[in-house]
Amino acid sequence: MVHILGISLPDSQLARFALTSIYGIGHHTSHRLCARFQIHDRCKVKDLTPFQITAIASFLSSPKTAPPVPHYPLATPDFTPRPAKMSSHELQAEFNAAQATQRQRKQEKLLALGKALPDAKAESKTRDPLNNLKIESELRREVRENIAHQRMIGSYVGRRHAMNLPVRGQNTQSNAKTAKKLNRLNRYG
Amino acid sequence: MPATQLSHPLFESDNRHPISLPTFTPANITQDMIGQAVHFAELPNDPIKFYGTPKPLLLEYRLLSRRASVIRDVTVQTARLLDEAAQKSSKDTRIAITGSSGSGKSVLLLQAVRYCLENDWVVIYIPRAKSTVNSTTTHTYDLRTRTYLQPEYASQILRRILGVNSKLLSDINTKQSLSLERRQIPAGTSLSELATIGVKEQQLATVILDALMNELSAQKKYPVLLAIDDFQAIYKERTIYRDPHFAHIRPYHLSMPRLLLEFASGQRVFSQGAVLGAVTNTDPLFPISNELMWALGTERIHPTSPYDKMNKTLVEYTAGLKNLEVPAQFSLPEASAVFEVWMKDRAVSAPINDELFLSKYTESGGHPRSFVWKGLLATLDGEIPKYDPEVPWPQLREAVVV
């Protein structure tokens, strides 16, 4: 049994499916998460390494502040790899140094063209949809706030939530059972 | 009714006697043996047991009492090609086996594997190459090789290579020492020891598989056969794997497909040996790509134009591949050999005669898979009912056949 943010994921389930049991993560987000942490499609929860589990848990605890995934280089057909005795730390250090020089050169170019301020921190604009991910309590709060906003501005939608009736124009003469049961001002609260 | 009272021979599935067929041996692959059914004998290093087979073959062998196959014209042709390839570099013998769906490509590849094994070749057979690209094994990015390593698959393939070729591998020693991050494997280690290290330590498996392939390429003691089924799967531009940015990973950026592509394109060669690939037509997830069709000159299903996009890297990896087309029809002697095998195994319910054989051959057009699965095994004809005047109720008596 693996626990992520207090939610237990059964060992025998596929990791890609098990992540959808978290509120706010559907199949597409789960696929993207698995790709980010290099989890293949048929990987079961029991096959996840401790490193992957902690990485997922730390990412989901605050997706906005997660470090962006670097663009690692990929081998061309004629690429000859470095000797096998090089340690992974050396290679990572080399890569980081190369990235840093690349960023430096980019910043200098932008400065020369007048497109960047000298003291501004290089803010990487990520188009990664996982950065804007909201789950669990944060997502529930957003839904509650949306309903509260509708009520505050006095809209039809807000009034219907307050009256526990269907909001989207459904029939009320018959068949409004789910709305009468679930529609509230403090829904999901 | 208790099982012990079921005395009809139809229920005697445990007492099946395997049918008697000659064994598949290299000496049997001659022109006069064309149209003769043979069977793959059980060996201690049986490639079918260690490497497995594609699924349709697996299902067929479950039904038959012997792992039978028929010697065809293409079998003899392939055997002669392999005999020549034993003296030449694998760069000169890189063949893709094509043909219509169900024409016998995978069976031909399996026959080639067995032929080479019994001729003392080192045999590496990958029956389902799509499992290297369909996101079913672990993949981890490696900065040193700049590819995604597949350690579990590498370890598994090393175990299988060791199982089939342990005798030959223990006879070959490494020429160069291998220095890894935390280990040193000296020169002169036998290849079977090298492979065992890769099987035991999964994180080193990919590096060791690479070193093993390098050593096999360099040695000249035994020729090497690399046989790949589902060959078209490694030529699909976008694999099912996704990188951390959710883009499809290319096959040449994954360690196993890259290894297979390098040998198939002649970028890496065995000093003696061949690379054979059998294509699968019926997998919608992995159709034959434009690059492969263009390289092999096969007939296209859809009209093509010069504006069709082709991946330049994949086109490089198809350089020098030759096409070996399997005929889509059995000849009459071949079909009759297949018919006899299924008939002896009591799989045909209809009365056995020339009429049945010729009618099924005509209905299927001699097409191998249709002849067996839609002809012989799917026939609803049964035994002609016998008239018995002693049945008490007249309406239950079978009609008299005049």
Report residues of chain B scoring pLDDT below 70. 13-15, 400-402
Q: For A75, which of B178, B241, B253 is closest by C-beta distance? A: B253
CB contact under 8 A, B143 and A88: yes
CB contact under 8 A, B242 and A42: no
Which residue, among A39, A72, A87, A127, would best test binding to B if mutated, counting the most B CBs under 10 Å from its CB? A72
Q: Are residues B104 and B236 part of one domain?
A: yes
Name the H helices within B51-201: 55-63, 73-85, 105-118, 151-169, 191-200
Cβ contact B360:B354 at 8 Å: no
Domain assignment of residue B385, yes or no: yes
Q: Are residues B316 and B359 part of one domain?
A: no
CA distance A141 to chain B (A): 29
Domain boundary, last residue among B279, B296, B325: B325
* One-letter amino acid of B326: V
pTM: 0.91
Q: For B316, which of A42, A71, A77 is closest by C-beta distance? A: A77
B111/B117 Cα distance (integer angstroms): 10
Show the tokens assigned to B126: 């990958």
Q: Are residues B340 and B254 part of one domain?
A: no
Question: Among B353, B323, B326, B321, which residue's Cα sits nearest to residue B340?
Answer: B353
Domain assignment of residue B311, yes or no: yes
Domain assignment of residue B66, yes or no: no
Q: Are residues B266 and B367 part of one domain?
A: no
**Percent of chain B's residues with pLDDT above 70:** 98
Classify B149 as helix, strand or coil.
strand
What per-residue confidence (pLDDT) applies to B100?
A: 93
Q: Are residues B226 and B342 part of one domain?
A: no
Q: How far is CA A110 from CA A13, A99, B142, in A?
A: 49, 16, 32
Domain assignment of residue B49, yes or no: no
Task: Name the band, by pLDDT with cuts 50, 70 and 90, for residue A133.
Answer: very high
Q: For B179, which of A34, A84, A95 is closest by C-beta distance? A: A84
Q: For A35, which of B146, B147, B243 is closest by C-beta distance? A: B243
CA distance A118 to chain B (A): 30
Q: How far is CA A85 from CA A81, A90, B183, B185, in A?
A: 11, 10, 8, 11
At residue A188, does pLDDT exceed 80?
no
Shortest CA distance from B182: residue in chain A: A85
CA distance B251 to chain A (A): 11
CB contact under 8 A, A40 and B243: no
Q: Are residues B279 and B386 part of one domain?
A: no
Q: Are residues B358 and B275 part of one domain?
A: no
Domain assignment of residue B54, yes or no: no
**Do the strands B273-278 and B224-229 form a parallel or antiparallel pair, or are they unpaired?**
parallel
Question: Among A138, A188, A184, A189, which residue's Cα sits nearest to residue A158?
Answer: A184
Q: For B147, which of A69, A75, A84 is closest by C-beta distance? A: A75
Question: Among B93, B97, B40, which residue's Cα sits nearest to residue B68?
Answer: B40
Q: Is the dihedral of CA B63, B67, B72, B75 positive or negative?
A: positive
Cβ contact B225:B90 at 8 Å: no
Name the H helices within chain A: 15-18, 27-36, 50-61, 88-113, 136-152, 156-162, 177-182
CA distance B242 to chain A (A): 5
Classify B127 as helix, strand or coil.
coil
pLDDT in tens, A29-76: 999 999 999 999 999 999 999 999 999 999 999 999 999 999 999 999
For residues B171-190, b (16+ Cβ closer than 10 Å) or e, as one string? ebbbeeebebbeeebeeeee
Q: Are residues B314 and B263 part of one domain?
A: yes
Domain assignment of residue B112, yes or no: yes
Question: Among B183, B176, B181, B182, which residue's Cα sits nearest to residue B211?
Answer: B176
Q: Are residues B312 and B335 part of one domain?
A: no
What per-residue confidence (pLDDT) applies to B398?
A: 76
Domain boundary, last residue among B274, B305, B325: B325
CA distance A133 to chain B (A): 15
Ordered structural domains, chain A, with CATH: 2-67 (1.10.8.50), 89-130 (no CATH), 136-182 (4.10.910.10)
ipTM of the complex: 0.90
Give B371's contacts (C-beta < 8 A, 6+ positions apart). B330, B335, B338, B360, B361, B364
- Can you state the angle between helices B73-85 and B105-118, rounded to 10 degrees? 40
Q: Are residues B373 and B311 part of one domain?
A: no
Phi, psi of B324 (to 5 degrees): -120, 110
Instruction: Identify residues of B whose CB sits under 8 angstroms from chain A CBs.
Output: 134-141, 143-148, 178-181, 207, 240-246, 250, 252-253, 258, 267, 313, 316-317
CB contact under 8 A, B180 and A40: no
- Can you state the angle between helices B151-169 and B255-265, rounded to 10 degrees? 50
Domain boundary, last residue among B325, B342, B362: B325
Domain assignment of residue B85, yes or no: yes
Classify B308 as helix, strand or coil.
coil
What per-residue confidence (pLDDT) applies to B66?
A: 92
B241/B252 Cα distance (integer angstroms): 12
How many C-beta atoms surround the C-beta of residue B85 within 10 A?
25
Q: Are residues B187 and B111 part of one domain?
A: yes
What per-residue confidence (pLDDT) applies to B347?
A: 87
Domains in chain B, number:
2
Q: Show residues of chain A in contact with B252, CB under 8 Å.
A: 75, 77
DSSP label of A82 = P
Q: Show residues of chain A in contact with B316, CB under 8 Å.
A: 77
CB contact under 8 A, B245 and A69: yes
Q: Are residues B184 and B303 part of one domain?
A: yes
CB contact under 8 A, B135 and A40: yes
DSSP label of A158 = H
CA distance B111 to chain A (A): 32
| CA-only gyration radius of chain A, Å | 24
Mean pLDDT value across chain A: 91
Three-state SS string over B194-212 comes to: HHHHHHHCHHHHHHHHHHH
Looking up tokens 């040449």, which residue turns up? B252
pLDDT in tens, A68-121: 999 999 999 999 998 888 888 889 998 999 999 998 998 888 888 887 665 555
B149/B153 Cα distance (integer angstroms): 9
Phi, psi of B8 (to 5 degrees): -65, 140
Domain assignment of residue B61, yes or no: no
Structural domain boundaries enclosing B155: 77-325
